[in-house]
Amino acid sequence: MTLTVRRLGRIGYQEGLDLQLALVEERRAEAISDTLLLLEHPPVVTMGRSATDADILVPREELDRAGASVHRITRGGETTYHGPGQMVGYLIANLYDHQRKLKRFIENLEEVFIRLLAERYDVTAGRDPEHRGVWVGSEKITAIGIAVSRGITMHGFAFNVNTELSHFGWIIPCGITDRGQTSLQALRGAPVPMTEAEDAVIDAFSKVFGYSVSESLDSPA
């Protein structure tokens, strides 16, 4: 299987969502291979199908002052935050090419980050039996949320590389009140170049999913 990777830099949330929706239709028509979009967003709160207004802990005026928008979306899960320094990955994949097993697909996504954190950064991470995502102790470093439309996946993961962790205080992340958030920067004590982290993610994707990776050269910067 081939995975096409597009590095998009920082783009608006709605722009990223519109691109995903277009790529889902192209993937369904077999016009493209499985595709991974790697990008950052300006500050944004996203609310999945299980989210409630009570998940947002601060007045909307505070979000407005920070330039943060709020979007209700179709992925599973509750409320999460995206912002600069966080690597967001949107995976447009045909689930029929992955034995139609969504649970295994999500477990493989988690394995990507467990493996790269151990191999590239000497960080021991794992799963939590109660909550999806990848955890370092009781702190989440990668959130995962997938939607499936007639066999094609969209949305994906949010990997805290150099994320401003205080912004998670705006919300109840994924409905979890008794756990924290961490980032590569917090664990290593210094920022990590985003390109370096993207390279690590791409390499781990090829190993875990068995992809042959092709990078698109016409991705917007």
Q: Phi and psi dihedrals of 181, rounded to 5?
A: -125, 145
DSSP three-state, residue 219:
coil
What string of DSSP letters covers 85-125? TEEEEEEE-BGGGGTT-HHHHHHHHHHHHHHHHHHHH----
**From residue 109, how far is each of 157, 164, 217 by CA, in Å?**
8, 23, 24
Task: Tell me the C-alpha distance between 82 and 143, whole Å.
Answer: 10
Say whether 174 is catalytic.
yes
Q: Which candidate in 112, 114, 154, 174 is catalytic?
A: 174
Q: Hey, which residues are catalytic here?
A: 174
